[in-house]
Structure 1
């Protein structure tokens, strides 16, 4: 089947027509996606169905799909102790004549709205129960067993990637070897969690990653709000105090301070200060 949305590999689903995609998913899943509930992002679109579920549809190039497959939401559904929407089923297809695959996952509705954007500019009001649920879910996730490897930003995380990312920004001579790898969500930010009831969603890229990746990612998305960043540091301090957690803090800082840094990003200065402190700690530990 050829779908008109893919006129080229460079596709932005925020602006491309998606009616044909939605029609195909509706026929296959035997449901109707309510059009005025659509949430459109660069490579995904989602909406509420007439049976009170949510369908998320993603487009991904073949070279961005690892050998382990592209079924993160499905495989995450088996985990216990992690607050996430119940998974119901999926549809996957290869687009004719294109190096592209599409995937639609149907899940239960979220218990609330996302906390905010991926990067926050003001502190959200979160009850203590929310932080307790966050910690319980992240701890339960790290205790899982999986052969999957995390792919943050659709790039499989490896020791080589960690070293290269850190070395490209911080030239100091310190060991970047990761000691402990544990399951991680790999896209932990404020747009992928709900409030006031905590729920973690968008599991496409979860898998084994260096200890502390999720905590460092959430901290980095909080840096524009110092009190919020400090709260993340406090709640996940066992991660940040570990050697791997320090490396993941530098890994997160490298994304802020790297070649694509925006000169007006309010996170630049706190990321620089933190990186200097972490490097000094790595040299002495």
Structure 2
């Protein structure tokens, strides 16, 4: 979840949402619709004649980019992913263009689950029930085995960014299917719901588990719970590349994205303790014992 964009973008997206509601015969119920990054998406509850309450997500893109992996991710997820992965049903898609922009309206099932965090990076223990953690493990195991030709993380990026930002070599990469953006503002509770399927595809084994774990480092109790629930994939040699790739992503974007900046310190500490990276001044790592209590 992100702040509202500049006024011109906000007005353009509100106009697009109103158009979608009129075209699809929906009643807008969202008093405070939810913004995506830089105003690229605008989402909120609507009333429908067929399904009752639904959720309308409007996506905007330049016409020459309105295709491919991100654009079609939700449609392919609806068609190809197994039912063991709890997610809103995508009922309908409508595309149009206006004033130099391409738009897509996606009408989803409205879920009762509440997004766990307004930021991708966790700030407090969400106190999730035991059943949530069991469903999380089942969902990620089922997703990992789903065949796809989509790519979530490119090998070229991994082999460039990991040495540059972590100082570690990459070595052999084992691949599995992943959500690709598996953080706390894309997860709902107390019943597990997984949102935002734009970027799913092939990634290093344990990529989603590693992201959820590293995005929990501000809350050691939750980080330890993630590690416990997903130890069967996180505590394997194959997970090393996934962890290093997530660390590289965070450190690469830390100077321009606030929540990555907040996470950069704990990620540096994690790299120092687990992978022996020399910490940069003025960074002062916590004790090795404290960090090992988090990641073991």
Structure 2 vs 1, CA of residues 64 and 210 (structure 1 numbering), >3 Å: closer, same or farther? farther
CA–CA distance in structure 2, aligned partners of residues 73 and 92 of structure 1: 14
Aligned pair partner of 1:85 in 84, 88, 94? 88
- In structure 2, relative to structure 1, the CA distance for the partners of 1:259 and 1:67 (3 Å cut) is closer
The alpha-carbon distance between structure 1 residues 14 and 64, as it changes in their structure 2 partners (threshold 3 A), is same
Equivalents in 2 of 1:244, 1:65: separation in Å?
A: 34
CA distance in 1, matches of 2:67, 2:226: 31
* Residue aligning to 1:200: 194
User: Is structure 2 residue 177 aligned with structure 1 residue 186?
Assistant: no
Which among 213, 217, 234 is matched to residue 228 of structure 2?
234
Aligned to 1:110: 111
Deviation at 1:58, TM superposition (A): 1.6
Rounded to whole Å, the distance in 2 between the matches of 1:71 and 1:135 is: 26
What does the per-residue CA deviation read over 1:193-231, in whole Å, with 9 as the maximum and x for residues that have no partner?
111111111111111111111111111221111111121
Structure 2: distance between partners of 1:167 and 1:191: 28
- Residues 196, 93 of structure 1: alpha-carbon distance in 2 compared, 3 angstrom cutoff: same
* Contact 1:13-1:44 at 8 Å conserved across structures: no
> TM-score, normalized by length of structure 2?
0.79
Give the corresponding residue for 2:122.
Answer: 120
| Structure 2 counterpart SS, 1:36 | coil
Spell out the pairing of 1:128-207 with structure 2 (5 A cutoff). 128-150=130-152, 157-172=153-168, 174-178=169-173, 180-207=174-201
What is the CA-CA distance between 1:269 and the residue it aligns to? 3.6
Q: Is 2:63 aligned against 1:55?
A: no
How far off is 1:87 after superposition? 1.3
Partner of 2:31: 36
- Residue matched to 1:45: 42
Question: Does structure 2 conserve the Cα–Cα contact (< 8 Å) formed by 1:249 and 1:275?
Answer: no
Q: Is the 8 A contact 1:13 1:45 kept in 2?
A: no
- Aligned pair in 2 of structure 1 residues 14, 210: CA closer, same or farther (>3 Å)? farther
**CA root-mean-square deviation:** 2.6
Give 1:85 deviation, angstroms. 0.9
- Does the Cα contact within 8 Å between 1:182 and 1:209 map onto a contact in 2? yes
Distance in 2 separating the partners of 1:63 and 1:250 = 33
TM-score, L = length of structure 1:
0.82
Relative to 1, partners in 2 of residues 1:135 and 1:63: Cα closer, same or farther, differing over 3 Å? Answer: farther
Classify 1:54/1:244 alpha carbon distance in 2 versus 1 (closer, same or farther; 3 Å).
Answer: same
Runs of 5+ consecutive residues of structure 2 not aligned to the other structure: 278-296
Tell me, what secondary structure is at the counterpart of 1:205? Answer: coil
Please give the secondary structure, in 1, of the residue aligned with 2:128: coil
Cα distance in structure 2, aligned partners of 1:217 and 1:36: 32
Which sits farther off after the overlay, 162-171 or 237-246?
237-246
Secondary structure (helix, strand or coil) at the match of 1:57 reads strand
Q: Name whichever structure is richer in helix by fraction.
A: 2
Aligned with 2:203: secondary structure? strand
